[in-house]
Amino acid sequence: MHPYILDLGFFKLPAYGLMAMTGYLAGYFYLLAARDRIGASKESVSDLSFLALLGGLLGGKLLFIATFWGDFGPGGWSSLLGALKSLQYGFVFYGGLAGGAAALWYWARGHKASFAAAADFVAPALALAHGFGRIGCLLAGCCHGAAAHGAPGIVFSDPLCLVEPSLLGVPLHPVQLYEAVGNFAIFGLLHLAWRRRSKPLSGSVTALYVLLYSALRFALEFMRGDDRGGLTAGLSQAQLISLAAAAAAAAWLVFSARRKKDGK
């Protein structure tokens, strides 16, 4: 694909970084447009967006390092430092989600706001930003699919992209595109849920996001072809996290439905 949107020799603009920033800005402007519903100021939304970005980057990097720690080895410090410094690769989404949630909790505590209500406010923007991020993955070649074997596929040929060298020139499942479309669809559903005239119980929109994204990610993991660490009982790390997250989210939605039915 196009790992670099612009290459002037002395300056390179990574496609992943550009799309990640596009996603961040799209999410930020969405929150600005929606802030009146919760009575948040522009300054507080800016603070929230910046803290969530930092928390997401840190959490994503930390889980990546934890996942691939054994691959760095005694002489792998240069690779480790490269992964830490790079904005083109070296992130694990669920780590970023945890880091972003920690940053959101910090923001909510500082603004004396409900963490659950703040999470509901942010959830649609997160899905929107993530959709653009996955387009960046498609352009960079990271998080790629396995060989398509006759199914619809996409071919990566640029040796600078992040596809496994043995898979260059081989039609691969376009999982990045599937996940981008899935995230945009989740964004639309969450936006409708959050803007309902009768507001859902706090935390319900977030639980819906976790449930929908976990199901999407669990399914798409079967078509992934990149290195994501070892498997446990035939499932990847992301699939195990997705199962746990989906179960917790489903339990919360059932709990919320019962509370609403009881009028609490």
Q: Six-digit token pair at 229?
A: 């660490």
Question: Are the C-beta atoms of residues 199 and 114 closer than 8 Å to each other?
Answer: no
78-82, 190-194, 221-225, 227-231: segment of lowest average pLDDT? 78-82
68-72, 167-171, 228-232, 245-249: segment of lowest average pLDDT? 68-72
186 SS3 class: helix
26-40, 67-81, 178-192, 225-239: segment of lowest average pLDDT? 67-81
pLDDT band at 2; cut points 50, 70, 90: confident
Percent of the chain with pLDDT over 90: 58
114-118, 172-176, 189-193, 226-230: segment of lowest average pLDDT? 226-230
Reply yes or no on whether the pLDDT at 234 is more than 60.
yes
Mean pLDDT of 192-201: 79
Question: Are the C-beta atoms of residues 217 and 175 closer than 8 Å to each other?
Answer: no
Reply yes or no on whether the pLDDT at 177 is more than 90.
yes
Dihedral sign for Cα 226, 232, 233, 238, please.
Answer: negative
Longest dimension (CA), the chain: 65
How many Å apart are CA 37 and CA 194, to the nearest integer?
A: 10
Reply yes or no on whether the pLDDT at 82 is more than 70.
no
Reply yes or no on whether the pLDDT at 60 is more than 60.
yes
pLDDT tens track for 205-219: 999 999 999 999 999
How many Å apart are CA 248 and CA 50, to the nearest integer?
A: 28
Indicate the DSSP class of residue 172: B
Higher-pLDDT residue of 106, 90: 106
How many Å apart are CA 262 and CA 162, to the nearest integer?
A: 52
How many residues are listed for the chain in this entry? 264
Reply yes or no on whether the pLDDT at 197 is more than 70.
no
pLDDT confidence of residue 6: 78
Compute the mean pLDDT over every residue in the chain, rounded to the nearest whole number. Answer: 87
> Nearest-CA neighbor of 183 among 144, 220, 227, 238?
220
pLDDT tens track for 138-157: 998 888 999 999 899 999 98
Q: Count H helices, E strands: the chain?
A: 9, 2
Mean pLDDT of 23-38: 94
Residue 22's Cβ-count burial label (10 Å; 0-12, 13-18, 19+) is middle
47-51, 62-66, 79-83, 254-258: segment of lowest average pLDDT? 79-83
Q: To which H or E segment does residue 213 belong?
A: helix 204-221
> Nearest-CA neighbor of 235 among 247, 219, 256?
219
Q: Please state, in angstroms and as integers, the Cα–Cα distance from residue 179 to each residue in 47, 86, 161, 175, following that order.
A: 28, 23, 19, 6
**Residue located via tokens 């929230």:** 48
Question: Are the C-beta atoms of residues 9 and 23 closer than 8 Å to each other?
Answer: no
Reply yes or no on whether the pLDDT at 264 is more than 90.
no
Which residues touch 53 (CB under 8 Å, ≥6 apart)? 24, 100
Residue 100's Cβ-count burial label (10 Å; 0-12, 13-18, 19+) is buried
pLDDT band at 223; cut points 50, 70, 90: very high
Question: Are the C-beta atoms of residues 216 and 186 closer than 8 Å to each other?
Answer: yes
Q: To which H or E segment does residue 177 belong?
A: helix 175-194
pLDDT confidence of residue 74: 53
pLDDT tens track for 86-104: 555 567 889 999 999 999 9
